[in-house]
A and B are shown apart, each in its own frame.
Chain A
Amino acid sequence: DAGITQSPRHKVTETGTPVTLRCHQTENHRYMYWYRQDPGHGLRLIHYSYGVKDTDKGEVSDGYSVSRSKTEDFLLTLESATSSQTSVYFCAIKRGLAQANTGELFFGEGSRLTVL
């Protein structure tokens, strides 16, 4: 158990409504990530954080914002959800070696979002 939980696990919403997904960790790791997973695309990085209030964009950041006001929580917000944002969203923490680029990612169980 990597000590990482996502909520909600499932959500159905309508186009144009705001949605916030929460990722919570209990291990005090510095790096946290949000990915989305769609068939044929593997996992695509949305945003990541390298510390409290320190975030950066990934490959597919348009339409998404993030916040990290404390170490344990990393929030992903869709300000106005669209049908193209229907996906499974995974949060991950990075554990491991001192060099940031060889650490291992541990993933949450995913949040399935459907935008009608």
Chain B
Amino acid sequence: TQLLEQSPQFLSIQEGENLTVYCNSSSVFSSLQWYRQEPGEGPVLLVTVVTGGEVKKLKRLTFQFGDARKDSSLHITAAQPGDTGLYLCAGARADKLIFGTGTRLQVFP
């Protein structure tokens, strides 16, 4: 059983649609990060959220950290084909970064 569960596991949508990806845990994390990974490459950091209830926006992407610091969400507005990739949440615990199960997003033109 993994500590961080993401949903949905797969998402296929048309360009222009909105979507939300969820990252849930029963454990508390000191901070939470979201990464994006493209085929054949390592994940790349998108954002770090630290405070419970924190909301960060990165252009069309909105990230939220739950009040209890156990969960997070990523919302994409007006998705574009360039958003296609694997999205991974990751929770920090001491020296370790524990990754979620991943959400694979495909955006069709």
Interface residue stretch chosen among B12-20, B58-66, B73-81, B95-103: B95-103
B82 in the interface (beta carbon within 8 A): no
A45 vs B94: C-alpha distance in the bound complex, in angstroms? 14
A40-B9, A40-B101, A42-B101 known; A102+B42 contact, CB < 8 A? no
B107 in the interface (beta carbon within 8 A): no
| Chain A interface, >50% SS class | strand
Best-surrounded residue of B33, B43, B93 (most CB of chain A within 10 A): B43
Contact B41–A102 (Cβ < 8 Å):
no
A40-B9, A42-B2, A43-B99 known; A108+B92 contact, CB < 8 A? no
Name the distance in Å between B97's Cβ and chain A's nearest Cβ.
Answer: 6
A48 vs B102: C-alpha distance in the bound complex, in angstroms? 21
Name the distance in Å between A109's Cβ and chain B's nearest Cβ.
Answer: 6
Query: How many contacts between A and B, using CB within 8 angstroms?
Result: 73
Contact A101–B94 (Cβ < 8 Å):
yes
Name the distance in Å between A1's Cβ and chain B's nearest Cβ.
Answer: 12
Contact B102–A42 (Cβ < 8 Å):
yes
A74 in the interface (beta carbon within 8 A): no
Contact B96–A48 (Cβ < 8 Å):
yes
Name the distance in Å between A33's Cβ and chain B's nearest Cβ.
Answer: 7
B28 in the interface (beta carbon within 8 A): no
| 21 residue pairs A–B, Cβ–Cβ below 8 Å | A40-B102, A42-B6, A42-B100, A43-B88, A45-B98, A50-B95, A56-B95, A58-B96, A90-B42, A101-B31, A101-B92, A102-B31, A102-B48, A105-B90, A105-B97, A106-B42, A107-B43, A109-B40, A109-B41, A110-B41, A110-B42
Residues on B facing A (Cβ under 8 Å): 2-4, 6, 9, 30-31, 33, 35, 40-45, 48, 50, 88, 90, 92-102
Residues on A facing B (Cβ under 8 Å): 31, 33, 35, 40-45, 48, 50, 56, 58-59, 90, 92, 94, 100-102, 104-110
